Amino acid sequence: MTSAPHPMHDAEELCHAGTELYERALREGHVPAAAADAAPCLMDFGLLHPAVDDLHRLEPVAPAVALHRLLRTSGERIARERRREERLAETFEPLMAVEGHRAAAAATPTLTLLSGKERINEAITATMTDASRELLTIQPRAKITRERVEAAYAVATDRDQALLDRGCRIRTLYPHTLRHSPLTVAHHERLKGDIEARALDEVTDRLIIVDRVVAFLPADPNGDLALEIRHPAIVGYLSTTFDRFWRLATPVFPEAAPQPSCNGITPRQRAIAALLTEGHTDAVIADRLGMNIRTARVHIAKLAATLGSQSRAQLGYLIGQSGILDQEG
């Protein structure tokens, strides 16, 4: 009958057979060499060794001596592991730094949906506080009460002035309908620093770009949701779009450029004429040009009178014949 193989174990976990045989060797001074066949771990751990005068006997090593030797071996193994840990740390430290930069970049969301006007204003204010170069904004006609417009300007004035005081610049695009707005004019006159404003017949929806790094866009018609954009490609695209609008716009502040009429047709009427030929309704024209519908209809009536039109259909024909849309505004 074959005996079971001896289990593998460490010195601190002496098997039952090994413990009994070692205790017997300590009591009797020696054991037969054949007895170690049942507990070969005692030879492996250096707890028994052959007697000098009789190779068929095994003598025990004093426990204190064996313990000291095993502890020294363990200490050397620990020292090797620590040296290995240090080498691993040195090897992987620069690699973790690379990963850390990537992870930090990945941890910064490129698109964040902001909910609520208070949260939106907080995000814009925090971003402007860190600005070091410029603020680019497009400000369409607000479809809110005068009181809310005044409150919005009150918040913006302190925020804008703090940015100007740090040596930054502000560039703002408005629709022409706001170029003579008392609230708009007063807001710009209160600010001191490198600030300019220009106007176009039509502008996009509200846009704020800070240092060409962060942009804010409305995410719903009511202004209760906004997108905070930090994706370089998107912010770069929006910045380029702003620059192109800016070159086409008419200076408004600090020095307003006049808008001369041509053959009795004002630039505003010319813009309306272009939208009329596209087939837009009065309501759409008013919305596109940032004016109320009654004002739009007044301009349409004046345009019709100037061209001698008696009907809407005739007005479109006369606009095409007049060549006013071929003129550079």
Count CB atoms within 10 A of the CB of residue 41. Answer: 23
Q: Above 90 in pLDDT, residue 33?
A: no
Average pLDDT along the chain:
82
> If pLDDT is split at 50, 70 and 90, which confidence band does 173 have?
very high
Per-residue model confidence (pLDDT) at position 259: 59
Q: Above 90 in pLDDT, residue 45?
A: no
CATH tag, 111-253: 3.30.870.10
How confident is the model over 2-24, as pLDDT tens digits?
Answer: 556 777 777 677 888 888 888 99
Count of helix runs (H) and strand runs (E) in the chain: 11, 11
> If pLDDT is split at 50, 70 and 90, which confidence band does 177 have?
confident
Report d(CA 200, CA 326) in Å as an integer: 18
Whether 76 and 182 have beta carbons less than 8 Å apart is answered as no
Average pLDDT, integer, range 66-87: 83
Among candidate residues 324, 320, 304, the one with its CA nearest the CA of residue 312: 304
How confident is the model over 219-277, as pLDDT tens digits?
Answer: 998 888 999 999 999 999 999 999 999 998 989 888 766 655 566 677 777 777 788 77
Q: How far is CA 2 from the centre of its chain?
A: 71
Percent of the chain at pLDDT exceeding 70: 89
Whether 128 and 215 have beta carbons less than 8 Å apart is answered as no
Q: 176-183, long-range: CB within 8 Å, 24+ apart, which pairs?
A: 176/200, 176/201, 176/250, 176/259, 176/267, 176/268, 176/271, 176/289, 176/290, 177/141, 177/289, 177/290, 177/291, 177/295, 178/139, 178/141, 178/290, 179/250, 179/252, 179/256, 183/146, 183/149, 183/150, 183/153
Residue 147 C-beta-side C-alpha neighbours within 13 Å: 0
- DSSP summary character for residue 144: S
> What dihedral angle (degrees, nearest 10) is formed by the CA atoms of 286, 245, 120, 221?
30
Q: 124-127, long-range: CB within 8 Å, 24+ apart, which pairs?
A: 124/159, 124/208, 124/210, 124/216, 125/159, 127/210, 127/214, 127/216, 127/228
Report d(CA 4, CA 103) in Å as an integer: 54
Q: Above 50 in pLDDT, residue 83?
A: yes
Dihedral sign, CA of 204, 208, 214, 216?
negative
- Which pair of tokens denotes residue 154? 């009150």
Identify which has the larger pLDDT, 138 or 74: 138
- 3 state DSSP class of 251: strand
Q: How far is CA 114 from the centre of its chain?
A: 13
Per-residue model confidence (pLDDT) at position 178: 78
Q: Enumerate residues 6+ apart whose C-beta is below 8 A from 216.
A: 114, 120, 123, 124, 127, 207, 208, 209, 226, 227, 228, 229
How confident is the model over 262-302, as pLDDT tens digits?
Answer: 666 777 777 777 887 788 888 887 777 767 788 778 777 77
Which residue is associated with the tokens 């070091």?
A: 132
Per-residue model confidence (pLDDT) at position 202: 85
Q: Enumerate residues 6+ apart whose C-beta is below 8 A from 254.
A: 188, 195, 196
CATH topology of domain 262-322: Arc Repressor Mutant, subunit A (1.10.10)
H/E element holding 7?
Answer: none
Whether 25 and 48 have beta carbons less than 8 Å apart is answered as yes
Q: Above 50 in pLDDT, residue 1?
A: no
The maximal CA–CA distance of the chain, rounded, in angstroms, is: 137
Could you tell me the residue ranges of all domains in the chain? 16-61, 111-253, 262-322
Identify which has the larger pLDDT, 206 or 107: 206
